[in-house]
Amino acid sequence: MQANREVVLRAENVKKYFPIRGTLGRVVNNVKAVDGVSLSLLRGETYGLVGETGCGKSTLGRTLIHLTPATAGSITVEGRDLTKLTPKEMRKMRRRVQMVFQDPYTSLDPRQRIGDILLEMLEIQKIGGAGGERRALVMEILDKVGLRPEHFYRFAHEFSGGQRQRVGLARALILNPDLIVCDEPVSALDVSVQSQIINLLLDLQEERGLTYLFISHDMSVIRYTSNRVGVMYLGHLVEEAATDDLFALPMHPYSQVLLSAVPSANPHTKKQRIVLEGDLPSPINPPGGCVFHTRCPYAMGVCEKECPQMQAVMPGHRVACHLHSQQSAKEEPNHGV
């Protein structure tokens, strides 16, 4: 990964809290869905965001493109902070950043024809002139995602799962964005359809120089699609590395657990599995110190007290773990990794 590639989106210390209201609407507590995440997306890359249910990966994806406003932190696209834009400016910015949702069925209006859904986007953004030109653009995009012209007149329910995801992709692409946030775009699909959609995503990226933020719970899918990977746990980014580095040498204990839990499609490999005790703690009252210390097989005294910061352990490989931070490595010479 070249260090001097252009940054499409830079997020710094982004937080997203959902307030829990008690009597009389008083905020009694917060669900800390995303708690201080910093990352940069480089032009033309796929950044894979992986983690389990409730780790905040989807919320982060939505917050980064301002579908839901961030509680704190800054998100910079083209030199402008998304959190400070007026709604009108944001609408303009939407051309640059788009989203593909997990369930294309519930994210498409059931009463509108597919063609009209796509035309509406062009109308809102005032792209293309009269009906004819916009229509041509829609037809072009349908062809790009592997749909036929007659699909223009169909409704969402008339499509199969894979085709619907193609429509979702067409909708994200039609404004010609730089960045697309793909939130679990293939998890609802069967393997054979999944590979079709993944290949389509890769082809489109190559052709248009798109940047993807690819959110998935499936490590194998992430491995195929992403150049860099970020691992999330309970609202925190705990590790970030180039894909091959992360799969070859996961540094954070949680990344190791996650990787060891993925079943391998080879009956001859018998993997040594690290079984994690207990369940995910509640993001309302996350554990103090390192959020993972309650389930971590290597937890030390310092983990309960201090939250580890993201630190580069190798070029392009960042980890938030006391096992890898300089001073604690001296205190605890025989750490387990």
Partner 1 sequence: MEAEKILEVKGLSTSFRTERGVMKAIDGVSFHIRRGEILGMVGESGCGKSVTSQSILRLYDEKYQVKYGGEILFAGKDLLRLPEKEMQKVRGNDVAMVFQDALSSLNPVFTVGHQIMDTLRIHQGMKKAQAREKAVEMLRLVGIPSPEKRVDQYPHELSGGMRQRVMIAIALACQPKLLIADEPTTALDVTIQAQIMDLILDLNRKLHMGVMLITHDLSVVAEVCSRVAVMYLGQIVEEAGVNDIFDNPGHPYTRGLIRSIPRIEGEREKRLYQIAGTVPMLSQIPQGCRFAPRCPRATEACRAQMPDLVPVSGTQRVRCWHADGAPA
**Residues in contact with partner 1, shown as a per-residue x/- string from 233 to 272 under the rule CB under 8 A:** --------------x---------xxxxxxxxxxxxx---
Q: Amino acid letter at 8? A: V
CB contact at 8 A, 142 and 161: no
Reading the block at residue 310, the tokens are 């993201």
How far, in Å, CA of 14 to CA of 236, rounded? 10
Q: H/E element holding 215? A: strand 211-216
| Selected binder of partner 1 within 80, 94, 135, 223 (CB under 8 A) | 223
* The only residue of 13, 29, 220, 309 in contact with partner 1, by rule CB under 8 A: 220
User: From the CB of 282, what's the least distance to partner 1, in Å?
Assistant: 10
Tell me how far, at minimum, the Cβ of 61 lies from partner 1, in Å.
18
b vs e for 255-280, b when ≥16 Cβ sit within 10 Å of the residue's Cβ?
A: bbbbbeeeeeeeeeeeeeeeebeeeb
Contact string 269-298 vs partner 1 (x = CB under 8 A): x---x-xx--xx------------------
Sign of the CA dihedral with 249 first, then 255, 260, and 264 last: negative
By C-beta, is 14 or 200 nearer to partner 1?
200
Residue number with CB closer to partner 1 (244 or 331) = 244
To partner 1, the closest distance from the beta carbon of 253 in angstroms equals 12
Shortest CB 55 distance to partner 1, Å: 9
* Binding mask of the shown chain, residues 185 to 204, with x at each position contacting partner 1 by CB under 8 A: -----xxxxxxx-xx--x--
Closest CA to 34 of 204, 238, 210: 238
Q: Is 154 in the site for partner 1 (CB under 8 A)?
A: no
* Residue 96 Cβ vs partner 1, minimum distance, rounded to whole Å: 28
> For partner 1, which is the closer residue by CB, 190 or 331?
190
**Cα distances (Å, whole numbers) of residue 157 to 106, 180, 283, 309:** 10, 24, 36, 47
Residues 42-81 that bind partner 1 (CB under 8 A): 52-53
Nearer to partner 1 (CB atom), residue 53 or residue 327: 53
Least distance to partner 1, CB of residue 242, Å: 13
In the bound state with partner 1, the residue whose beta carbon lies nearer, of 73 and 104, is 104
Closer to partner 1 by Cβ: residue 4 or 266: 266
User: Smallest distance, Å, CB 169 to partner 1?
Assistant: 16
Largest CA distance in the chain: 71
Helix (H, G, I), strand (E, B) or coil at 41: strand
Q: What residues contact residue 42 under an 8 Å CB cut-off, 6+ apart?
A: 1, 5, 6, 7, 8, 211
Nearer to partner 1, 29 or 264 (CB): 264
Instruction: Residue 300: name the closest of 336, 255, 265 by CA.
Output: 336
Indicate the residue among 24 and 265 with the shorter CB distance to partner 1: 265
CA dist 47 and 177 (Å) reads: 16
* Number of residues in contact with partner 1 under rule CB under 8 A: 41
Q: Residue 238 in 3-state DSSP? A: strand
Helix 114-124 crosses helix 131-144 at what angle (to 10 degrees)? Answer: 120
For binding to partner 1 (CB under 8 A), which residues are involved? 52-53, 160-162, 190-196, 198-199, 202, 217-221, 223-224, 247, 257-269, 273, 275-276, 279-280
